């Protein structure tokens, strides 16, 4: 295959032998059947050598005289007609015989090639040790590169120039090219190249000046955080929207700005704020530990008190206002099929082949014209088992299998972003693989959208479980969901507060969802984040009187994995949306910033501080003769009264909340188990500390929940007195094999 290459030569000056150098280049390249052009800027070459070069009319030589860029070399590189580029500093006088080796490395997959100069016999000792020092410094910084920072010959492509915004005139261009090139996912090769003659010895002052430049370059580049390199248009055309970071490729399939995602957990200003706060607490503790602890306990008590009354307020509002959108059976029966729009159903599955048949059956039971349904099964490319099972499943014709190309991050929202590009419905809904929605849910959502204002772009159906009586954990899980979806969210709707969406059964206007740029692919609780994001953009969410039934987690360790992911996502959401708190404040009459703290902030914080407050209370009653006076000293009268009120009245109210939620769901047989809910809270705190660990060490890791555990208790589930999946219109089908852990 014929090669085409553009060679840019700089720093030619008045040195002898340049015309011979060009002839040797021509001979080598012709021998290798390489089509080439040589580009020289007029300001980079001496008068004598310029005349000699022009006389070589047989060579494809381009002399550029205009200077339209501060960096003359960059301008020459941009003017090159070929994609592959070779930049040579002639004053280093490298042997052209290296070029065939560079081209062979390119054929083997190298995107960047940099030569390491092998010095002549009379190379100065100072020059040798100076380069050695810089290489050692690079290794210490974690850049394990055996690279000559002053080498005068490099190979790269036009794409790399455009994408990395390179500055070839910089003194440490080789380091920029190598380090940023690797960070942007390009493959680097280093080749030894003999220098034909020794370089001129520089004065000590020049060496010192170069060293100062290196230190400045290190602080500006090497010691700064790794850069994010968006895909070049050529890469994006093949892979979609994405970027490289630290050499890792990420394809989130959305152009949502990174500042609005959880890709970087905490920005520098947030880290400074957190460190400053912890430092202040530590300093105060050292100076007066008793007063500091007294202040912290007082603040926590006030926080509990505020959270308690906010909860009471929401429950009362939920009953008094009853704000959910109610769609009657009569309204549904009046719908004409021709008036129904096309509806897209997203179902992201990853290693969930066990429940695929159940999902297909549940969707086929929906009361909606099948010719107006687009069901997108979003399967990951490396999930061969689920893809194979989907092929065997004999899916209805309105089902479409979309295989999401393998890439990072490996998350549900990334898959949804990929599917959003193919959505052709006016409305869209997300269902998880184990979901069983009520048969008329799509029609209810359609009618709800006709009733509400245009700024409501999301309708959330309620979630509950079809296996509430499987074991104690599923009973308590059902109590939590009954409270959250039937009372808390409707209470939030009544005050037009931001609503953290459920992970499933949220229905959207597709046009507006695309304007929002889909989901945050790095947030592991993407539903919560999207609910807050649409509220900040002036949109609202409404709750409808329809339920989707899911599988309540029946395994404790599996539940911990699931819960820790949710809490980690809430932490991510809090950090992302507190980067610019002003976006919450549309008007002073809409206190979204305050409700965000109470909805998301307190939900996170309580999981961490609850165990310490519980242990303090238990210790006070068990060991009062020994430590009672000490504990009492941290509670001044006002704080003591608030604390006792929260302990007695608050805990009673919290438990009573769950009873109300269960009663509203007709789960009367579970109500007696609500008194065990404190043990459930302990589990949430354990999951919270696990989430905090993952926030630091693997923030984007999606702890996959195992589904299909309910199949072993099918008879017990079906006999449940509560409304379950059977009444919702779907048959639970047992798989051929048991559930497996991802």
- For 502-559, the pLDDT digits (tens) are 889 999 999 999 999 999 999 999 999 999 999 998 899 999 999 999 999 999 999 9
Beta-bridge partners for 458: 508, 541
Q: What angle do CA 317, 323, 329 make, to 5 degrees?
A: 145
- For residues 320 and 214, state if they share a domain: no
Domain annotation covers residue 578: yes
- For 410-448, the pLDDT digits (tens) are 999 999 999 999 999 999 999 999 999 999 999 999 999
Average pLDDT (62-74) is 79
Average pLDDT (354-371) is 93
- For residues 328 and 200, state if they share a domain: no
pLDDT at 71: 80
Average pLDDT (237-257) is 91
- For residues 209 and 315, state if they share a domain: no
Average pLDDT (602-618) is 91
Domain annotation covers residue 210: yes
Is the per-residue pLDDT at 563 higher than 90?
A: yes
Hey, which of 20-29, 57-66, 415-424, 728-737 has the most confident mean pLDDT?
415-424
pLDDT at 740: 36
- For residues 612 and 465, state if they share a domain: yes
> Which CATH number goes with the domain that contains 139?
3.90.550.10
**Residue 723 — very low, low, confident or very high, per pLDDT cuts 50/70/90?**
very low
- For 294-341, the pLDDT digits (tens) are 999 999 999 999 999 999 999 999 988 889 999 999 999 999 999 999
DSSP state of 325: B
- For residues 179 and 321, state if they share a domain: no
- For residues 195 and 316, state if they share a domain: no
- For residues 172 and 311, state if they share a domain: no
Q: What angle do CA 172, 178, 179 make, to 5 degrees?
A: 90
* Domain boundary residue, one of 179, 209, 225: 225
- For residues 157 and 63, state if they share a domain: yes
Average pLDDT (161-175) is 81
User: How many other β-carbons are positioned within 10 Å of the β-carbon of residue 92?
Assistant: 19
- For residues 161 and 73, state if they share a domain: yes
| Average model confidence (pLDDT) across the chain | 86
Buried b / exposed e across 314-352, counting CB within 10 Å, b at 16+?
bbebbeeeebbbebeeeeeeebeeeebebbbbbbbbbbb
- For residues 305 and 212, state if they share a domain: no
- For 450-474, the pLDDT digits (tens) are 999 889 999 999 999 999 999 999 9
17: left (phi over 0), alpha (psi -120 to 50) or beta: left
Average pLDDT (144-167) is 80
Is the per-residue pLDDT at 359 higher than 90?
A: yes
Q: At what angle do helices 556-577 and 677-697 cross, to 10 degrees?
A: 60
pLDDT at 732: 39
pLDDT at 321: 86
Domain annotation covers residue 402: no
- Look at residues 7, 56, 55, 48 and name the one whose alpha carbon lies nearest to residue 29: 7
Domain annotation covers residue 209: yes
pLDDT at 126: 54
Domain with 167 in it: 3-225
Percent above pLDDT 90 for the chain: 55
For the ranges 46-60, 128-142, 568-582, 587-601, which has the lowest average pLDDT?
128-142
Which residues 6+ apart lie within 8 Å of 330 measured at CB? Answer: none
**Residue 262 — very low, low, confident or very high, per pLDDT cuts 50/70/90?**
very high
pLDDT at 726: 45
Is the per-residue pLDDT at 687 higher than 80?
A: yes
Domain annotation covers residue 567: yes
**Residue 207 — very low, low, confident or very high, per pLDDT cuts 50/70/90?**
low
Q: At what angle do helices 624-632 and 602-622 cross, to 10 degrees?
A: 140
Please give the structure tokens belonging to residue 357.
């048949």
pLDDT at 154: 86
Domain annotation covers residue 325: yes
- For residues 99 and 205, state if they share a domain: yes
* Domain boundary residue, one of 203, 225, 247: 225
- For residues 577 and 704, state if they share a domain: yes
Domain annotation covers residue 244: no
Domain annotation covers residue 387: no
* Domain boundary residue, one of 177, 210, 225: 225
For the ranges 218-222, 448-452, 618-622, which has the lowest average pLDDT?
218-222
HEC profile for 165-232? CCCCCCCCHHHHHHHHHHHCCCCEEEEEEEECCCCCCCCHHHHHHHHHHHHHHHHHHHCCCCCEEECC
Q: What angle do CA 112, 177, 158 make, to 5 degrees?
A: 60
> What distance in Å separates the CA atoms of residue 44 and residue 39, rounded to the nearest whole number?
11
Domain count, the chain: 2
> What distance in Å separates the CA atoms of residue 156 and residue 178, rounded to the nearest whole number?
10
Cis peptide before 578 (omega within 30 of 0): no
């Amino acid at each position: 295959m014929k090669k085409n290459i553009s060679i840019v030569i700089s720093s030619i000056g008045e040195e002898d032998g340049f015309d011979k150098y060009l002839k040797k280049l021509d001979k080598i390249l012709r021998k290798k059947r390489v089509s080439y052009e040589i580009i020289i800027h007029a300001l980079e070459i001496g008068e004598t050598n310029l005349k000699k070069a022009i006389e070589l009319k047989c060579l494809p030589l381009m002399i550029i005289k205009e200077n339209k860029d501060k960096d003359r070399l960059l301008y020459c590189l941009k003017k090159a007609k070929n994609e592959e580029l070779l930049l040579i500093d002639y004053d280093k006088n490298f042997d052209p015989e290296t070029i065939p080796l560079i081209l062979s490395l390119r054929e083997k997959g190298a995107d960047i090639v940099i030569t390491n100069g092998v010095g002549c016999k009379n190379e100065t000792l100072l020059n040798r040790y100076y380069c050695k020092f810089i290489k050692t410094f690079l290794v210490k910084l974690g850049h394990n590169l055996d690279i000559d920072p002053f080498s005068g010959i490099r190979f790269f492509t036009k794409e790399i120039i455009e994408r990395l915004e390179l500055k070839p005139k910089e003194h440490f261009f080789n380091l920029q090219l190598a380090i940023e090139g690797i960070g942007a996912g390009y493959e680097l090769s280093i080749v030894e190249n003999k220098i034909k003659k020794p370089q001129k010895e520089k004065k000590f002052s020049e060496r010192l000046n170069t060293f100062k430049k290196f230190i400045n370059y290190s602080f500006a580049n090497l010691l700064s955080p790794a850069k994010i390199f968006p895909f070049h248009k050529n890469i994006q055309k093949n892979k979609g929207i994405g970027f490289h970071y630290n050499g890792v490729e990420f394809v989130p399939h959305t152009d949502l700005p990174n500042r609005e995602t959880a890709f970087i957990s905490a920005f520098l200003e947030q880290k400074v704020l957190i460190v400053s706060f912890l430092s202040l607490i530590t300093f105060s503790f050292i100076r007066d530990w008793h007063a500091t602890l007294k202040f912290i306990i007082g603040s926590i008590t006030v926080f509990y008190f505020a959270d308690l009354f906010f909860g009471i307020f929401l429950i009362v509002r939920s009953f008094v206002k009853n704000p959910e959108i109610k769609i009657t059976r009569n309204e549904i029966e009046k719908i004409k099929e021709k008036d129904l729009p096309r509806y897209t159903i997203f179902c992201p599955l990853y290693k969930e082949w066990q429940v695929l048949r159940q999902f297909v059956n549940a969707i086929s039971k929906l009361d909606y014209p099948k010719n107006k349904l687009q069901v997108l099964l979003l399967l990951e490319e490396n999930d061969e088992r689920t893809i194979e099972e989907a092929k065997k499943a004999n899916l209805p014709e309105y089902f479409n299998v979309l295989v999401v190309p393998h890439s990072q991050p490996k998350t549900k929202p990334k898959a949804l972003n990929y599917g959003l590009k193919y959505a052709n419905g006016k409305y869209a809904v997300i269902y998880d693989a184990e979901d069983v929605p009520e048969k008329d849910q799509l029609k209810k959502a359609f009618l709800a959208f006709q009733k509400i204002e245009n700024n409501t772009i999301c309708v959330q159906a309620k979630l509950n479980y079809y296996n509430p009586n499987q074991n104690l954990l599923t009973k308590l899980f059902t109590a939590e969901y009954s409270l959250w979806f039937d009372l808390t969210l409707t209470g939030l709707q009544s005050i037009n507060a931001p609503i953290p969406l459920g992970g499933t059964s949220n229905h959207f206007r597709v046009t507006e969802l695309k304007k929002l740029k889909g989901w945050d692919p790095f947030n592991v609780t993407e539903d919560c984040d999207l609910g807050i994001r649409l509220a900040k953009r002036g949109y609202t969410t409404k709750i409808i009187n329809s339920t989707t039934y899911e599988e309540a987690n029946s395994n404790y360790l599996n539940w911990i994995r699931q819960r820790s992911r949710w809490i980690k996502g809430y932490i991510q959401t809090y950090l992302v949306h507190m980067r610019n708190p002003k976006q919450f404040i549309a008007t002073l009459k809409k206190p979204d910033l305050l409700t965000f703290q109470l909805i998301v902030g307190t939900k996170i914080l309580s999981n961490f501080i609850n165990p310490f407050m519980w242990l303090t209370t238990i210790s006070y009653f068990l060991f009062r003769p020994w430590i009672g006076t000490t504990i009492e000293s941290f509670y001044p009268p006002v704080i003591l009264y608030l604390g006792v009120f929260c302990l007695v009245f608050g805990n009673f109210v919290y438990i009573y909340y769950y009873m109300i939620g269960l009663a509203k769901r007709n789960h009367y047989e579970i109500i007696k188990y609500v008194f065990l809910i404190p043990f459930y809270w302990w589990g949430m705190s354990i999951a919270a500390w696990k989430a905090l660990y993952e926030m630091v060490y693997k923030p984007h890791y999606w702890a996959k929940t195992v589904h299909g555990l309910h199949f072993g208790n099918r008879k017990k589930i079906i006999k449940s007195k509560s409304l379950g999946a059977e009444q919702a219109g779907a048959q639970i089908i047992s798989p051929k094999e048991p559930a497996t852990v991802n």
